[in-house]
Homo-oligomer: A and B are copies of this chain.
Amino acid sequence: MYRSHTCGELGIKDIDREVTLSGWVQKVRDKGFVVWIDLRDRYGLTQLVFDEERTPKQLLEQAKALGRETVVRVLGTVIERASKNPNRTTGEIEVLVKELSILNKALLPPFTIEDETDGGDDLRMKYRYLDIRRTPIRDNLIFRHTVTMEVRNYLSAQGFIEVETPYLIKSTPEGARDFLVPSRMNEGQFYALPQSPQTFKQLLMVGGMDKYFQIVKCFRDEDLRADRQPEFTQIDCEMAFVEQEDVLQMFEGLTRHLLKAIKGVEIGPFPRMTYDEAMRRYGNDKPDIRFGMEFGELNAVAQHKDFNVFNTAELVVGIAVPGAASYTRKEIDKLIDWAKRPQVGAKGMVYVKCNEDGTFKSSVDKFYDQEDLAQWAKITGAKTGDLILILSGEANTTRAQLSTLRMEMAERLGWRKPDEFAPLWVIDFPLLELDEATGHYHAMHHPFTSPKPGQLELLDTDPGAVRANAYDLVLNGNEIGGGSIRIHDKETQAIMFKHLGFTPEEARAQFGFLMDAFQYGAPPHGGIAFGLDRLVAILGGQETIRDFIAFPKNNSGRDVMIDAPATIDEEQLKELHLKVDA
């Protein structure tokens, strides 16, 4: 037997009990006549004690010689501690050791196994199995488990059935790139790994499963931006015989349940905002509404003077930053530089200080009088002591820039509190999105999203104006879920494919099975998919998903721990009927 108890459970109630513990040596404190060892396992830390009086000499010497991370088993007696540690659940006791066996030795770890480690990212990833020993990472993985259990039990109680869909499917070249899997048994043919189980969940609706969910890995062979993974996990859901309202209600329920069960936070009905409104008020389709600092559009009150920068701009738009009128000239210059960084991309920035005495001081005092500036303050909601920051230019670009600035200022103000949760539905997304590079429209959500009733005709005349039955669930400025009511008839689906540039033959070759299925009695249906990695990170009050993934890949898509991908045997290539084409 390796243990009678874990290292996290002994207390005063166990005094005088003989116990066996196993775990890792966290720390050895050698005072000569007495040695204390913190023994660690998943469940906690327990202090072991050896001393000259009560411990055989040989055992005491053995204890002194133990290195960090050595795996040991001890047999001993629980005794009350002289100096208790109230910060530790086992802090009232220690175990006086009688027997100690070394289960496995340990080399000195390449970084310290502490909450704050001295290991850099690369080292932590290479030795991820050691990184996982650290409490923050361990707790993140346990937290992820807790979230998925809550999700599954909630959805199951609501009548959803988890159905596993296949991983070896067919490539669909539009959209993001697929990972491909050559078939040995079918020469020259390939499977693809799913970017999402989209078509399969729709087929399950055609198949009458009514309510489906799956927590499932998805794959995208994209050039990785920071904090993206080539394999990621979705909570994938679909319901039949529903309208948009049914889907919103159901998954608002799930999200509310998670916030309550996991964070103890009670949230009322989630606010809703159209895509257009979100863009206008926050410059962003996933606004962080934990705080205000909403956009004020200033065209009407800023384009009547001789300031050409504003007069030639499609949009002049500002935000009021509370209390920032006290920024020095130097601080403001630094902020302007920040906004001009390529990552933000502003050409310049106009500011207005709302002084304590009710006057205004701006960087454009040459062009505008106090009355103009008072108007700007009114529109941006600026109060005495605030600083108005104004950007201008092409509308979409300027909104995106000001949105980035808004988030930065909120960060500086301490408004992005990880323990505060502000969910929001963004609805009425455009159906199509213009790809500026190619001049083609592509599906903003995906090709199976249905247009709003009566808007199908607009596709020919004003495709960009067509709105979709599509919705995103936004939490603290992050899109945590997105979905839509789907097309469920062959004719509409064919029209969509046409507008997305598919020939009928291409549509048939790639999605023939789905269009066939729609002919055999497809019910109206819709759904949503949550990005689990991000959801868990946000619920956990953190921004990076990598620390919530046991074995993440780096930005080159490599697993540096196992050193994958790697070259393979010639024999394997041959069996797959492939040659590397250098």
Contacts and interface: CB of A to CB of B under 8 A. Distances in A.
A208 interface: yes
A145 B163 contact: yes
Contact of A109 (B161, B520, B551, B580): B520
Contacts of A187: 580, 582
A183 interface: yes
Contact of A168 (B164, B518, B564, B580): B564
A562 B513 contact: yes
A488 B559 contact: no
Interface stretch (A277-285, A446-454, A474-482, A567-575): A567-575
Contact of A572 (B2, B171, B566, B582): B171
- Secondary structure of the A side of the interface? loop
Interface in A1-37: 1-3, 22, 24
B203 A128 contact: yes
Nearest to A555: B185
A372 interface: no
Given A200-B551, A524-B103, A564 B149 contact: no
Contacts of A91: none
Interface in A150-190: 152-153, 156, 161-171, 173, 177-190
Interface in A69-127: 69-71, 103-107, 109, 127
A288 B141 CA distance: 40
A582 B162 CA distance: 41
A519 interface: yes
A456 to B, nearest CB: 16
Contacts of A131: 207
Contact of A209 (B141, B179, B210, B518): B141
A569 B172 CA distance: 10
A521 interface: yes
Most buried by B among A185, A187, A488: A185
A462 interface: no
A523 B22 contact: yes
A208 B41 contact: yes
A557 B169 CA distance: 11
Interface stretch (A215-223, A352-360, A432-440, A496-504): A215-223
A146 to B, nearest CB: 9
Contacts of A207: 128-133, 138
Contact of A24 (B184, B186, B192, B521): B521
A579 interface: yes
A550 B231 CA distance: 22
B190 A565 contact: yes
Interface string A539-582: 00000000001110100111101111111110111111111111
A517 interface: yes
Contacts of A408: none
Contact of A105 (B43, B106, B521, B561): B521
B582 A183 contact: no
A142 interface: yes
Contacts of A169: 559, 562, 564
Which of A489, A553, A559 has the largest number of chain B CB atoms within 10 A?
A559
Contacts of A168: 179, 219, 230-231, 553, 557, 559, 564-565
Given A167-B219, A207-B128, A517-B129, A180 B104 contact: no
Interface in A504-539: 512-513, 517-524
Contacts of A138: 207-209
Contacts of A566: 170-171, 189-190
Contacts of A561: 203, 513
Contact of A182 (B24, B182, B230): B182
A379 interface: no
Task: Identify which of A153, A171, A566 gathers the most chain B CB atoms within 10 Å of its CB.
Answer: A566
A242 interface: yes
A209 B576 contact: no
Given A130-B206, A131-B207, A170-B563, 17 more contacts: A2-B241, A24-B208, A104-B518, A104-B522, A104-B523, A109-B520, A130-B207, A130-B520, A138-B208, A138-B209, A145-B162, A167-B167, A169-B564, A181-B193, A190-B566, A574-B581, A579-B580
Q: What are the nearest 9 A-B pairs in CB distance?
A: A132-B207, A106-B521, A170-B564, A2-B241, A189-B565, A42-B210, A183-B565, A69-B521, A129-B207
11 contacts: A1-B243, A43-B210, A107-B520, A132-B209, A138-B207, A166-B551, A168-B553, A177-B572, A183-B557, A190-B565, A204-B550
Interface of A: 1-3, 22, 24, 40-43, 69-71, 103-107, 109, 127-133, 138, 141-142, 144-145, 148-149, 152-153, 156, 161-171, 173, 177-193, 199-200, 203-204, 206-211, 217, 219, 221, 223, 230-231, 233, 241-243, 488-489, 512-513, 517-524, 549-551, 553, 556-559, 561-569, 571-582
